């Protein structure tokens, strides 16, 4: 009996990182913007350029802002429009998460957005890790028609979440696909996969590298960190992760 190969999904927030992810052997790229906010919807232009440069499946985050996952009517309207843009550009899937204030999945809005997204693949992102009961949330996501759930098992990272991830995988069965996420690297991915049975993993693998600027005005700053460094995904880091899962 053959074993399904491990799928490696890489989160990228720039053209450079998306291209590096593919070159490193990633099986899928999740595109977003603003990593310092945990990821928000990328611009139409960014989606178009990345779509033109990639041949692997491309999934796009649909998140109108940072912070929590309880959205206003206007924010939900923006999410619906962003899904329509992603469909028009020709991505393969969208990634979102919508919660109720008490810590459960917002069934009505989630189901509506799933329907609006079809025929694209739909992933419920790590908003599920902010739910009061991740196992109940997993069952709810199945009822909403979600295809995949991105999760650390409600823990700070996938390593700490292994016990719950294992239970989630058992409950998911053939009903829904789990993607293990949170601090996954070449050094720990084997343990996570072997202990949970999950066959898809998601990693950021971002590194700080010097930018191209020769002149640097250190007196001015426009955000967190240095304007003269860039957060990037490096091809060699992706390759190491892909090689680490080969044969698991």
Four-point Cα dihedral 239, 27, 189, 160, nearest 10: 130
Position 2 confidence tier, pLDDT thresholds 50, 70, 90: very low
For 138-194, write each residue's pLDDT tens digit.
999 999 999 999 999 999 999 999 999 999 999 999 999 999 999 999 999 999 999
Number of domains in the chain: 1
pLDDT at position 1 over 60: no
In a domain, 47, yes or no: yes
In a domain, 131, yes or no: yes
For 96-117, write each residue's pLDDT tens digit.
999 999 999 999 999 999 999 9
In a domain, 1, yes or no: no
In a domain, 129, yes or no: yes
In a domain, 2, yes or no: no
Q: What pLDDT, on the 0 to 100 scale, is given for residue 215?
A: 84
Percent of the chain with pLDDT over 90: 85
- Which of 175, 246, 238, 173 shows the shortest CA–CA distance to 207? 238
| Mean pLDDT score across all residues of the chain | 94
Is the distance from CB of 120 to CB of 92 less than 8 angstroms?
A: yes
In a domain, 205, yes or no: yes
Mean pLDDT to the nearest integer, 45-51: 98
Residue 111's domain is classified under what CATH number?
A: 3.20.20.380
Position 126 confidence tier, pLDDT thresholds 50, 70, 90: very high
Structural domain including 21 reads 7-245
pLDDT at position 224 over 70: no
């Amino acid at each position: 009996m053959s074993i399904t190969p491990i799928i490696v999904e890489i989160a990228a927030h720039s053209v450079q990182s998306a291209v590096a992810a593919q070159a490193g052997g990633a099986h899928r790229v999740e595109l977003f913007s603003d990593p310092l906010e945990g990821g928000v919807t990328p611009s139409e232009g960014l989606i178009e350029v990345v779509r033109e440069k990639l041949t692997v499946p491309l999934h796009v985050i649909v998140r109108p802002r940072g912070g929590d996952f309880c959205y206003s009517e206007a924010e939900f309207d923006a999410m619906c429009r962003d899904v329509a843009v992603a469909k028009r550009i020709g991505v393969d899937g969208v990634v979102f998460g919508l919660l109720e204030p008490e810590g459960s999945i917002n069934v009505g809005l989630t189901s509506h957005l799933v329907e609006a997204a079809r025929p694209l693949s739909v992933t419920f992102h790590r908003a599920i890790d902010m739910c009061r009961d991740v196992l109940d949330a997993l069952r709810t996501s199945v009822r909403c028609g979600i295809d995949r759930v991105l999760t650390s098992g409600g823990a700070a990272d996938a390593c700490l979440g292994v016990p719950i991830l294992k239970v989630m995988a058992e409950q998911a069965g053939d009903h829904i696909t789990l993607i293990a996420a949170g601090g996954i690297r070449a050094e720990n991915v084997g343990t996570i996969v072997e202990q949970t049975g999950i066959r898809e993993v998601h990693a950021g693998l971002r590194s700080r590298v010097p930018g191209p600027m020769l002149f640097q005005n250190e007196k001015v700053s426009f955000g967190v960190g240095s304007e003269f460094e860039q957060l990037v995904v490096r091809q060699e880091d992706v390759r190491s992760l892909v090689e680490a899962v080969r044969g698991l």
